[in-house]
Structures are given as C-alpha cells and as structure tokens.
Amino acid sequence: MMSMMLAAMDNTIVATAIPQIVGDLGGFSLFSWLFSIYLLIQTITIPVYGKLADLYGRRPILIFGIVVFLAGSVACGGAWNMHSLIFARGLQAIGAGAIMGTVNTIAGDIYTIQERARVQGWLSSIWGISAILGPALGGALAQYASWRWIFFINIPVGIGSIILITLFLHENKPEKKSKVDWSGAAAMMITGTIFMFSLLQGGQSWPWISFPTFGLLALGTIMFNITLRIESKSKEPILPKWVWGKRVLLGANLATIGMGIIMMGPNMYLPVFAQSVTGVGAIAAGFILASMSITWPLSSSLSGRLYLRIGFRNTAIWGIIIVIIGSAAFLFMQFPGPIWALLAIQLMLGAGFGLISTSMMVGVQSTVVWEQRGLVTGTNMFSRYFGQSIGAAIYAAVFNAVLSSKLEHAPPLLQSKLPGVNKVIEVLQSHEAASEISLYLREAFFSATHYVYLGMTFTGLITLLILLRTPSRFPTIGD
C-alpha cells in the first residue's frame, strides 16, 4: 500500500502545484507534458515488468521500480527548467510502471481468491485517499514551502516501503532463468509509444485529420507487424499469443479497456463542468470528482462475496450496468444540474468501477499459475491505461466539436461577442462577460458535456456486449 501510494498520489499532488511550477520554471506551453510523458511511459512499461516479475520474481522488480521512482523524484525536485522536469517525470514513470503492475501481482500471490477482493479494496482505497490528500498536500507545500517538496516527500515513503518489502515479502524464486526477449520488449514499447503518442497529441498539437496523425498510424502499423514477427520467433515472448487467444482473458481485457475509456469522461470534464456551469469553487469541484473514490473501494471489497456466488463475468456485468445507469442519468439532468445529482452519479460510477476492476483483475489472475500471473496482471493494467488514453482522445474530440458547433450556430446578436473554444473556460471563470453571453456559454458547455456522457453510455453498452460474449466461467487454477 505504501508502494502504491507513491504512484497513486503523484499526479494529483503535481496538478495542484502547476501554477507555482510554471511561475518558477516557465514553459507554460509544455506543462501538459508533465502528465502525458508520465502516462505514456508508465502504460507501455507495465506489461514488460509483468513478464520480468514472472522470470525474476516480484520483489526485485518492485524494489527496482521504487528505487527508479525515487531517483526520478529527486531529479524532479532539482529540475532547473521545464524540459529537465519533463525528463525527470519520464524517469519517475519508468519506476511507476514496475510499481503498478507488480503490487497487484503480489496481492494475487499471497492472498487466496476469497481474500483478494478485500485486499483490492485496500489498494483501491489508496486511490481514494490520494484523490483527497494529494491536492490538499500539494497546495499546502506549494504555498507554504516549495513546489519541489511535492517530489522530495516521496523519499521517506519509498524508503519505508523498501524496508518493509525486504523484511516481510518472502517468495520462492523461479526455478528456471529464461532469457528475456529484449528485442521483442523494445519493439513492443516503441509500438506502444507511437500509438499512445498519437492518441495523446492528436486533436491537441495537431488536427485528427492531418499528416502527423496518418503518418504516426502508418508507422505504428509497421512497428506492430515487426513486433508480431519478433514475438512469434521468440522462445519467451513478452506477450505470448495465448494472452489474447483465451476468450476469458480477451473478454476481461477488452472490458477493462472499456472501463478505462469511460473513466476519462468525468476525470477530464466534471471538475470544469462543476465550476463553469454550476458555479461551485475549485475545492468543491475536486471533492465532487473524488466522491467516486468512496464507493469504489467499498464495492471492490464487497465484490468477493458476489463473484464467489455468481462468477467473475457476471459480477462485472452488474458493475457495467451500474456504470451505464450512472452515465445515462447525467443525460436527464436539467440545466444547470444540481450538485446532489453530480454526487449521486459519481457514487454510482465508483460502485460500478469497483465491481468491474476487481472481478476482472482477480478473474484473470485465477486462470493462470504463478509463473504467468505477472504477465496477465500487467496486461490487464495496460488495458486499463490504454483505455484511458483512448477515452481522453475521443472525449476531447467530441467535446470540442460540440462546443465549436454551438459557438458557430449562436444567435446572430451574440456571435460577434463570443470567444473562441479555447477561451470559453477563461471567460466563464473571469465572471466579466455580460449575463446573456455567460448564460449561452454555460448552456453550450452543458450541452457539450452531455455528449461526453452520451459517449460514456454508448461505451458502457459496448462493454456490456463484450462481457455477454465472454465465457461465464473462468477456469480457476489452484494456488
């Protein structure tokens, strides 16, 4: 849990201190890369660390990840400009990839199927605590000390987790030392980087329909075929064919991608919606978003009783049904949207995500032996983060398209007074616009957010169909 807190709190604590970081280092146009580089590198390295944990054991991989993360934290704290800080964040992410995949694998190793739901609830609670504690701690350190301390504070937590892991995590080392398919790992990470980079930057740094988009997709396709060729010839491939060949694993990972896509809707737009449309403050908006973290660990803990009775697949089906209802409920809200309704929707989403994530994680872990558990865990974690990247790209395209259309088709008397898409939030936050302009912008923002939740509902229905096509019985291998 201490190891998980390192990776979980990092993004929330950094986000709060962005104004102070930019004020000190400059480079405002680059600050989004502090998050993009972290998500990209963490995501593409998780499956590789999962395979390495199967080959060399969990403890050395986890300790390596923590050490690299701490080295990255020290480098972040000592950054002298925005470029050096972005590089140091990438180093942090190399460690975070090992932490995220390996912690969940260890939970699958040392607890039985009956106990894993409760343990996943504990691990999920770390994200809830981080969502609340991270912004408060980041803001306090940035205001009363220095933004550099938001990185240095990782050091005692990381050292403490290394000591505990060294003293108390005892595992049987793998009997055979297979050679790592480094060429396959490199090819897979290059392929993942290309696709992730295109998803993160498309529609932001360049239009979706443009030469960079098509060029990256073509290059990614070429690298994907090269990766398949390398992996097919390897004796110990990073991602064996059976990972995507087994229907239960394929269904679980596709459902996890769907969950990741849906998660990005509220993460990206709910806080801004709450501030710009309903008029609450930044702190209240943050707590509305974080309310999902209350029901997530609770439903995760309770999912064990459910999947032991009705199975992993059916538990996830109940979870996605709750998510669909929560997403669709937003569509029936009247402008500007009551705060209690936003809270209720977030609580429902958290409950649904807890059922899906835990049942799918424990489900895939239960279908394999120890020597394969790191691989399937890493693949499932990768699916979730890859889904988040897809969601970020899709929802940004949908939201911007709807908002642009609303501004273009505004009443003639208002058109000349309305700002561009990039200035809408700035105008609403300033409270200086005329009442009729402010009202129209709020309604346009309300409508654009509705289409985001419509996309979430549609994605939920597709995920439901995927789960219905997934075998209801996950073949369980005894621990």
Q: How far is CA 42 from CA 92, 93, 386, 425, in A?
A: 9, 5, 10, 30
Taking alpha carbons only, the member of 119, 118, 103, 128 closest to residue 2 is 103
CA 456/CA 435 separation, integer angstroms:
31
Give the chain's largest Cα–Cα span: 76
Classify residue 475 as exposed, middle or buried by CB count within 10 Å of its CB (0-12, 13-18, 19+): exposed
pTM over 0.95: no
Distance CA(103)–CA(377), nearest Å, equals 10
pLDDT in tens, the chain (479 residues): 889 888 887 767 776 676 678 778 877 667 677 877 888 888 888 888 988 888 888 999 999 999 999 999 999 999 988 889 989 999 999 999 999 889 988 988 888 888 888 888 888 788 777 777 777 777 777 778 888 888 898 999 999 999 999 999 988 766 666 677 778 888 888 888 888 788 777 766 777 778 888 898 899 899 989 988 888 887 777 778 788 788 899 999 999 999 999 998 888 788 778 877 887 776 677 778 778 888 988 898 888 888 888 999 999 999 999 999 999 999 998 887 788 899 999 999 999 999 999 999 989 988 888 888 888 998 898 899 888 888 888 888 888 888 888 877 777 666 666 665 556 666 666 655 557 777 777 888 888 899 999 999 999 999 999 999 999 888 776 54
Alpha-carbon gap, residue 116 to 118, rounded angstroms: 5
- For residue 4, what are the contacts with CB-CB under 8 A and spacing of at least 6? 99, 100, 103, 123, 126
The tokens describing 389, both together, are 């990247």
Domains of the chain: 1-169 (1.20.1250.20), 181-235 (no CATH), 242-471 (1.20.1250.20)
